[in-house]
Amino acid sequence: MTSIAKPAVRHPGLPTNKLGLTRRDYEGAMSTLCAGCGHDSITAAIVQAFFELDIEPHRAAKLSGIGCSSKTPAYFLGQSHGFNAVHGRMPAVATGANAANRSLVYIGVSGDGDSLSIGLGQMCHAIRRNLDICYIIENNGVYGLTKGQFSASADVGSKAKRGDVNELPPIDPVLLALTLGATFVARSFSGDKKHLVPILKAALTHKGFALVDVISPCVTFNDHEGSTKSYRYTRQHMEDLAPIDFVPVRREITADSEPGTVMAVTMHDGSVVRFRRVAEDYDPTDRDAAYAYVRRVLERGEVPTGLLYVQPDSRDMHAINRTVDRPLVELPYEELCPGAEALERLMEEYR
Amino acid sequence: MSTATAWASAAPGLDGTPRVNDFAFKIGTVNGTGSASANSLIMHTIFRMGIPVTGKNVFPSNIQGLPTWYEIRVSRDGYTARTPVFDLVVPMNPATYARDIAEVRPGGWVLYDSTWPLDRSLLRDDVTFLGVPMGRMCNENFEGDRARTLMKNIVYTGALAALLDMDLSILNGILEEKFARKQALLEANFKAVRLGYDYVREHFDCPLPIRLEKMDATRGYVLMDGNTAAALGCVYAGATVGAWYPITPATSLMDAFQQFCERFRVDPETKQRKFVIVQAEDELAAAGIVVGASWMGARAFTPTSGPGLSLMNEFIGLAYYAEVPAVIIDVQRAGPSTGMPTRTQQGDLLLAAYASHGDTKHIVLFPADPEECFYFAVKAFDLAERFQTPVFVLSDLDIGMNDWLTPRLRWDDAYRPDRGKVLDADALERIQKFHRYLDVDGDGIAARTLPGVHPKGAYFTRGSGHNKYGAYTEDPAEYMEVMERLARKIKNAAAAVPEPEIRRTDGASLGIVTVGSGRAAVLEAMDRLRDEGIALDYMRVRGFPFGEAVAEFLAQHELNFVVEQNRDGQLRSLLLLETGVPAERLASVRYYGGFPLSAHHVIEGVLRQLGGVKA
C-alpha cells in the first residue's frame, strides 16, 4: 500500500491468483507513515508474497507490537484479523494465538526498538519455542515516533540527524537469531522488492520461527549522510549471499539458465528454495558456517543479506508439544470436559 | 493475657478430663526430609475415621535444610481455621526445639526423639515429655541414611497413632494403597509404624486425654487443596491453553493442570495432546499468551501470585481496553515486592480490582476454600467470555496449598461454556458489515469475531484509541463513547458475579464482613462471640464489582467489622469506594502477619473495636 488512496473501481485486467483474488484483495488501509518510508515498501512486498502464495486472506493472522513498523499490519491484508499488541510483546500474543489455532498463517511485524530493546526477551523466547511465524523486523536503527533516538541496532559510528554519534555496539538480530537456534534467518532491504518477496514467501512457508530482518530506512530521522541505515548506505554496502527463487510445491522446476551454480533446499511442505550463484562451499543449512559468514561480512563493514540459514525440517512448538493436529479452538467442548463420572471417580483419590 | 492464651488456660482437658476430637498438634521438621508424606498419612487416617481435620503447612522459601512445621487441627465441630494453641508438639528438628517446646500449651505434651537427652534448659514443668528413641530405632532397623531419615517420620506417626488412638487398620490401609506395587517399602513402613506404636504403648499411658474417636462427619467430603481444585476447574471449563511462569504459591496449580490434562486430554491412540501449556519467560509473556489464545477463541488462563500480577498489568490493560477475555488466578502471598513467598495474605485486592494504568476496573472472584476455587474457576471463564474482559480469581496460599476439608466436587454434565457474543461464519455471511465495538443490544457488550472464520469478521485489535467501529481514533467524543460503554459493561457485571454469602443471627445489630479465606476464622469467631453475648450478621463478598446485596447489607448495620488479611484494609477501601457506605460504618479488623487467619485474631479485633460496649 502506498500513501496515495487508490480508486475503489477495480480494473478488469488486474492479474488474479489461483483463488481468483487480485493483489488488491491483499491490501489494507491507507498508510499513515511518512512518504518514502521503507516500511511501506515492505508492506507492498508482503501483499505480493501473500498474493503469490495463494493464501486465503482470512486464514492469515497478522500481529505487531508498537512503533512505526507495528502500525503497518493495518496497511496489508484487510481481510485478516490483526493484533496490535503492547510494545515488544507481540511474540507472546502470537504464541498464544498459534497455540490455540495452529491452522492459520502467522505474520508478525516488529521494529528494532520493539524487538531488540523492549521486547528482546520475548523475541528470543519465541525463537526458542520455534513458534511457527514469519517474523519481520523493520529495522531502521532509530526511534521514529519519539523523534530520532538511536535504537539498539544502530551501528557504532553511525550519526544521528542531530549530530551525535552512536558509541554502543549494535545488537544484530541475524547473529542473535543464529545463536539462539532460529530455524530460518534472513536479511533483506526494503529498497529491493525483488530480493525481499521470495524471502518472505520462503519465510511464510517455513514451519517454525522465520526471522526476516529488513533494513528499512527512516526517511525522516535516519536517511542522512553519516547514517549506516540510509537508502544510500544500504544500497552501497549490501552484500548478498545469493538471489533466491521460491518454487511452491506442485510447480515444476524449470531448467536453470546457469547450471551448476544452483543449490536447492526443500522446505517441509515440498516447496523448494533455490539459491542462484551461491558460493560452492556455502551450505545454508549449516548454522556455524552461516554465523561465520555473517561475521566475516560484517567485519568488512558490509551488510550481509539473503536467506542465510534454514533448517527446513525443524520441529515447531506444536511438534515439540505433541499437540493434536486439529486446532485447539476447533475441539468440541465434549472432548475437553472429562464429565461428572470421571470427577466422581477422581474424588475417591482425595480421601 | 492474649485471648489465645486465655483459651488455652480455660481449655478442657487441662485437668485431665478427656478431650475427644477437639485438639491441635504440630510437627516441627526440616524441609526436604520426607515429613510431608507422614503428615499426609496422619491427616488421611483422621479423615477416614470420619473426624473433621485440617492441616496447615508452615514452610520456608527454601528447598532443603530449613525448619518447616505441619499443624493439624482436629475439630468435631468442623472448625477449620488455624489455631495457634497446640496441645501436643512433635519437635523433630533440633534447630527449633526451644521454640517448638515453648509453644505447647500448659498441661500439654511433647513427643520427642530421646536417642539423645534433651538439653535441660528446654524442659518445662507444666508439660509432659514423652521420649521415644526414634533415631536409635531407625539406625537399628533400617539401612542407609536416607531410609533412616525417612522412616523416622513414620516412627513418629506410629507413636502418635498410639497416643491419639488412631485407627491402625485405617492407617495401614492407606499405606497399602500407597505402596501397593512397592512391597519392600510397604514392609518398611509397617515396621516403622509398629516401632513407634509399640514403644509408646509399652512406656506411656495410652491414649492421652486428647484423643480421637471415630465419627461420621467426613462422608461426602474430600481433603483437597485449592490449587488442585482450581486446576480441575480449568480442565472442566474446557481451558486448552495455560501459560505461566513458576511462582510460589501458584506453581502447584499448573502442575495439577498438567497432570489432569495428561490424564484426561491425551488421545489414547495417537498420544497427541488436546492442550498446550507454555512455561513462559516471565509473567509479561504469560499474560500475553493468554490474551493471544483467548483472542483466537480458546479458553486460556494463567496462575500467578503478586509479583507476577505486577508484571501482568500492561497486558491486563490491553485486554480490558481491546476487550479480550483472560482468566488470571492469583494465589496471593505476602507482599509487597518479593515479600514472604511462603506466607499467606490478601494483599492484591486493590491491585486486581483496578489493575493497569488509565481508567480500568475488573471482574474479581473471591473463593473462600477449594470448593469455590473449583466452581469459581469455571465461572471465571464464563464471565471472561461473556464480558470479553480479564477476570481474576483471587485465591491465596492458605487456600491454594493447604489441604482443606472440602465437599466432594460435583459436575453437571448439562453444563456448556458461555462463549458470549461470538459471530460465526453464518452470522457474518448474513450481515452487511461487521463493526467490532458496536453496542447493538444496548447491554454494553459488542459481538466479537474469531480469526480464521470469515473474511467479513476481520478487524484490527488494538490497545490504542479506537472508536465503536474498531478504527483508530484520537477524537475525544469517539474515544469517550467507547470508554463509557466499557464502564457500563463492567458495572453490569455486578449482577453476574457470585452473590455474597450472608448469614443472619437473631437479634444482631452489628455486621461482620469478610472475604476469601477469612471465612473459616470469622464463622468460628462468631460462635465464640455469641457465647459472650455479641451477635453478628455475617457477609462474605464473593465477587467484584459488588452487587446491590453488598451495599444493602452494609446499610442495614450501624457498624460492620471488615475482617481481612492485609495491612491497609483493602477490602474496606473497596467497599468505601464502590458502595458509598459512610466510613464510620466500617470498622477494620486486620491480620496480615502471614499465617492463616485464626478466630482469635477476629475476636480480639472485634472486642477491641467495641471497647467499652462489651469486652
| pLDDT tens digit sequence for B15-50 | 567 899 999 999 999 988 889 999 999 999 999 999
- Mean local confidence (pLDDT), A157-184: 96
Residue contact A103–B452, C-beta within 8 A: yes
Residue with cell 512433635: B90
- Mean local confidence (pLDDT), B331-360: 98
Q: Measured in Å, how far apart are chain A's first and last C-alpha atoms?
A: 65
Instruction: Count the Cβ atoms, other than its own, within 10 Å of residue A170.
Output: 21
Asked if the model's pLDDT at residue B382 lies above 50, the reply is: yes
- Mean local confidence (pLDDT), B170-193: 96
Write down the mean pLDDT value for chain B. 95
With helix as H, strand as E and coil as C, how does A178-222 read? HHHCCCEEEEEECCCHHHHHHHHHHHHHCCCEEEEEEECCCCCCC
Q: How many angstroms from the chain centroid is the CA of residue B117? A: 40
Q: Please state which of the ranges A139-148, A213-222, A252-261 shows the lowest mean pLDDT.
A: A252-261
Taking contacts as CB-CB distances below 8 angstroms, the residues of chain A near B267 are 324
Asked if the model's pLDDT at residue A13 lies above 90, the reply is: no
The C-alpha cell at B467 is: 472508536
pLDDT at residue number B4: 43
The C-alpha cell at A98 is: 498459534
The C-alpha cell at B21 is: 476430637
Residue contact B264–A338, C-beta within 8 A: yes
d(CA A147, CA A67): 12
CB A289 within 8 A of CB A278: no
d(CA A33, CA A26): 19
Q: Would the CA dihedral through A281, A287, A291, A294 be positive or negative?
A: positive
B223 forms bridges with which residues in the sheet?
Answer: B405
- Mean local confidence (pLDDT), B207-222: 97
The C-alpha cell at B54 is: 485440617
Residue contact A59–B452, C-beta within 8 A: yes
Residue with cell 518510508: A37
CB B550 within 8 A of CB B500: yes
Cα dihedral A263, A266, A271, A277, rounded to 10, equals: -10
Asked if the model's pLDDT at residue B12 lies above 70, the reply is: no
Residue contact A85–B453, C-beta within 8 A: no
Residue contact A104–B451, C-beta within 8 A: yes
Asked if the model's pLDDT at residue B14 lies above 60, the reply is: no
d(CA B186, CA B189): 5
Asked if the model's pLDDT at residue A12 lies above 90, the reply is: no
The C-alpha cell at B235 is: 480442565
For residue B586, the distance in angstroms to the closest alpha carbon of chain A comes to: 40
Of B451, B458, B472, the CB nearest to A78: B458
DSSP B340: B
Asked if the model's pLDDT at residue A9 lies above 90, the reply is: no
Asked if the model's pLDDT at residue A82 lies above 70, the reply is: yes
pLDDT tier, A301 (very low <50, low <70, confident <90, very high otherwise): very high
Asked if the model's pLDDT at residue B52 lies above 80, the reply is: yes
| pLDDT tens digit sequence for B109-140 | 999 999 999 999 999 999 999 999 999 999 99
Of B281, B296, B315, the CB nearest to A100: B296
pLDDT at residue number A1: 40
d(CA B263, CA B177): 20
* Burial A206-231, CB ≥16 within 10 A → b, else e: bbbbbbbbbbbbbbbbbbeeebbbbb
For residue A297, the distance in angstroms to the closest alpha carbon of chain B comes to: 33
- Mean local confidence (pLDDT), A191-202: 97
Rounded to two decimals, the ipTM of the complex is 0.96
Taking contacts as CB-CB distances below 8 angstroms, the residues of chain B near A342 are 264
In chain A, % of residues over pLDDT 70:
94
pLDDT at residue number B313: 98
DSSP string, B30-77: ETTSSHHHHHHHHHHHHHHTT--EEEEEE--SSSSSSEEEEEEEEETT
For residue B472, the distance in angstroms to the closest alpha carbon of chain A comes to: 10
Instruction: Count the Cβ atoms, other than its own, within 10 Å of residue B315.
Output: 32
- Mean local confidence (pLDDT), B321-347: 98
Residue numbers of A between 233 and 292 with CB closer than 8 Å to B: none
Taking contacts as CB-CB distances below 8 angstroms, the residues of chain B near A335 are 274
In chain B, % of residues over pLDDT 70:
97
Q: Would the CA dihedral through B27, B32, B35, B37 be positive or negative?
A: positive
> How many A×B Cβ pairs under 8 Å?
224
Omega before B545 within 30 of 0, i.e. cis: yes
For residue A59, the distance in angstroms to the closest alpha carbon of chain B comes to: 5
- Mean local confidence (pLDDT), B400-411: 98
Residue numbers of A between 293 and 332 with CB closer than 8 Å to B: 317-318, 321-325, 328-329, 331
DSSP B474: -
CB B331 within 8 A of CB B396: yes
CB B45 within 8 A of CB B171: yes
The C-alpha cell at A310 is: 534454514
| pLDDT tens digit sequence for B228-241 | 999 999 999 999 99
Amino acid at residue number B386: R
Question: What is the β-pairing status of strands B276-279 and B390-396?
Answer: unpaired
Three-class SS state of B185: helix
Residue contact B222–A347, C-beta within 8 A: yes
CB A17 within 8 A of CB A50: no
Give the Å distances, CA to CA, from B15 to B18, B106, B107, B504.
Answer: 9, 11, 8, 37
Residue contact B409–A94, C-beta within 8 A: no
Residue contact B413–A340, C-beta within 8 A: yes
For residue A176, give the nearest of A126, A106, A132, A142 by alpha carbon: A126
Of A56, A73, A328, the CB nearest to B240: A328
For residue B4, the distance in angstroms to the closest alpha carbon of chain A comes to: 31
Half-sphere exposure of A184 toward its Cβ, with a 13 Å CA cutoff?
A: 32
Give the Å distances, CA to CA, from B515 to B83, B178, B247.
Answer: 19, 37, 23
d(CA B431, CA B51): 62
d(CA B490, CA B487): 5
CB contact A79 to B (< 8 Å): yes
pLDDT at residue number A8: 62
In chain B, % of residues over pLDDT 90:
94
Measured in residues, chain A has a length of: 351
Secondary-structure percent of chain A, ordered helix, strand, coil, rounded to 5: 35, 20, 45
**A281 exposure class (CB count in 10 Å sphere: 0-12, 13-18, 19+):** exposed
Q: Would the CA dihedral through B289, B290, B292, B298 be positive or negative?
A: positive
| pLDDT tens digit sequence for B256-278 | 999 999 999 999 999 999 999 99
Nearest chain B alpha carbon to A81: B458
Which of B46, B170, B171, B289 would you mutate first to test chain A, the one with the most A CBs within 10 A?
B289
pLDDT tier, A252 (very low <50, low <70, confident <90, very high otherwise): low
pLDDT tier, B60 (very low <50, low <70, confident <90, very high otherwise): confident
| pLDDT tens digit sequence for B540-578 | 999 999 999 999 999 999 999 999 999 999 999 999 999
Q: Show the CA angle centred on residue B475, arms to residues A62 and B362, nearest 5°.
A: 65
DSSP A58: G
The C-alpha cell at B91 is: 519437635
Of A329, A340, A351, the CB nearest to B411: A340
- Mean local confidence (pLDDT), A49-74: 97
Which of A1, A76, A81 would you mutate first to test chain B, the one with the most B CBs within 10 A?
A81
Of B44, B286, B315, the CB nearest to A86: B315
Sequence-separated (6 or more) residues with CB below 8 Å from residue B483? B359
pLDDT tier, B65 (very low <50, low <70, confident <90, very high otherwise): confident
Which of B227, B316, B374, B411 would you mutate first to test chain A, the one with the most A CBs within 10 A?
B411
For residue A136, the distance in angstroms to the closest alpha carbon of chain B comes to: 18
Sequence-separated (6 or more) residues with CB below 8 Å from residue B126? B106, B107
pLDDT tier, B2 (very low <50, low <70, confident <90, very high otherwise): very low
The stretches of B450-540 forming alpha helices (DSSP H) are 476-492, 518-531
pLDDT at residue number A256: 53
The C-alpha cell at A22 is: 487480485
Of A73, A100, A343, the CB nearest to B410: A343
CB contact A100 to B (< 8 Å): yes
Q: Measured in Å, how far apart are chain B's first and last C-alpha atoms?
A: 13
Q: Which helix (H) or strand (E) holds B86?
A: strand B86-91
d(CA B473, CA B61): 49
Residue contact A343–B411, C-beta within 8 A: yes
Sequence-separated (6 or more) residues with CB below 8 Å from residue B484? none
Taking contacts as CB-CB distances below 8 angstroms, the residues of chain A near B222 are 347, 350-351
pLDDT at residue number B7: 46
Taking contacts as CB-CB distances below 8 angstroms, the residues of chain B near A83 are 292, 295, 460-462
Residue numbers of A between 101 and 160 with CB closer than 8 Å to B: 101, 103-104, 121-122, 124-125, 129
